[in-house]
Amino acid sequence: MEFMPVRALFDSHMHTPLCKHAHGEPEDYAARALEQGLQGIIFTCHSPMPAGFWPQVRMSEAEFDVYVAMVDRCHDAFVGELEVRLGIESDYFPGYEGWIEKLHQRAEFHHCLGSVHWQGPEYGAKFNLQDETAFRKIYWDNLAASAETGLFDTLAHPDLIKNYRAATWCFEVCRDDLAAALDRIAQAGVAMELNTSGLHKKFSEMNPGPQMLRMMSERNIPVVIGSDSHVARRVGEGFVIALESLRDAGYTAVSVFKKRKRSEIPISMALASLLLRAGESIQQSASLT
Ligand SMILES: [Zn+2]
Ligand SMILES: [Zn+2]
């Protein structure tokens, strides 16, 4: 199917300076999204967590209202040009489910990402970071458990574990544990993310990589696309390649959330929409492969 280029695609994962490791105002991210030919963006900054939980990488609880106001301000500034939606990237950590549940009721979120951030000090302390095999197994189990909480719309960067001791990462060794986790995730009916920031991480590949995308596709797990931008220039980065790899994995549509309800955009339409970036898509495709 051929589509005339119209703005159709969202970047569903990006940050604000409140998480202490992102730069630039939301309006800078929105301006970049317009240049990239996107229809909209969803801010999903790192959730506050109960006192003392890895505070260096997230907004404090006191800043939560500031965050909502900041995204509202950006929304209002771009009305009629770009849809700006409020979301959040919440940590999944066993024992904190009740706290996250309440947090997600504190604002009208469009998209709640759930993340197993194994790099966090609390995670490493609770699970044995030294036993490589066991640690990876536990990650897959936690990923599935995060889906089963029902707290999240989408599981963010779902193979982030490949950056733990990246030199010894082997997809085939993990395949059975991953398959079991994906069965549980498909059963839970939760979407998963294709996160293009993986290209800049230790194991340089999008999250997830092509083998895992294929396994997700076989289970009909919906996919949301996100850049996980911590700087404005990364908004929409790698989206042509991401859409092509989704198509190669067997997908025909990409998902986006509004008021926490999922809808789908055909991949052909999404790809056509990126032609609005003044011919940039072809160059990007060539330089990132
Ligand atoms: Zn994350
Ligand atoms: Zn993020």
- C-beta atoms surrounding 194 within 10 Å: 29
How far is residue 165's CA from residue 86's CA, in Å, rounded to a whole number? 34
Predicted confidence (pLDDT) per residue in 185-198, tens digit: 999 999 999 999 99
pTM value is: 0.94
pLDDT (mean) for 81-100: 97
Helix axes 171-188, 210-218, angle to 10 degrees: 30
User: Residues 167-185: pLDDT tens digits?
Assistant: 999 999 999 999 999 999 9
**Is pLDDT above 50 for 75?**
yes
pLDDT band at 143 (very low <50, low <70, confident <90, very high): very high
pLDDT of residue 280: 52
Q: Which ligand is nearest to the CA of 45?
A: 2
What is residue 118's three-state secondary structure? coil
Confidence of residue 5 (pLDDT cuts 50, 70, 90): confident
pLDDT of residue 3: 73
Of 2-16, 100-114, 272-286, which range is least confident? 272-286
Instruction: Identify the nearest ligand to the CA of 156 by its number.
Output: 1
Cα–Cα distance, 110 to 100 (Å, whole number): 15
For residue 89, how far is its CA from the centre of ligand 1 (angstroms)?
7
Sheet holding 83-91, edge to edge: 10-11, 40-46, 83-91, 111-115, 154-155, 191-195, 223-226, 253-258, 261-266
What's the CA-to-centroid distance between 4 and ligand 1, angstroms?
Answer: 34
Share of the chain above pLDDT 90, in %: 90
Q: Over the stretch 209-221, which tens digit does the pLDDT of each residue have?
A: 999 999 999 999 9
> How far are the Cα atoms of 56, 173, 181, 192 from residue 136, in angstroms, in the given order?
25, 10, 12, 19
Mean pLDDT of 64-76: 98
Distance 114 CA to ligand 1 centre (A): 8
Distance 111 CA to ligand 1 centre (A): 14
Taking the centre of ligand 2 as the mean of its atom positions, its distance from the CA of residue 134, in whole angstroms, is 25
Range with lowest mean pLDDT among 60-64, 85-89, 241-245, 280-284: 280-284
Q: Could you give all domains of the chain from N- to C-terminal order, each with its CATH number?
A: 10-288 (3.20.20.140)
| Whether residue 222 has pLDDT greater than 80 | yes
Mean pLDDT score across all residues of the chain: 94
**What would the 3-class secondary structure string for 252-264 be?**
CEEEEEECCEEEE
Confidence of residue 283 (pLDDT cuts 50, 70, 90): very low
Distance 13 CA to ligand 2 centre (A): 6
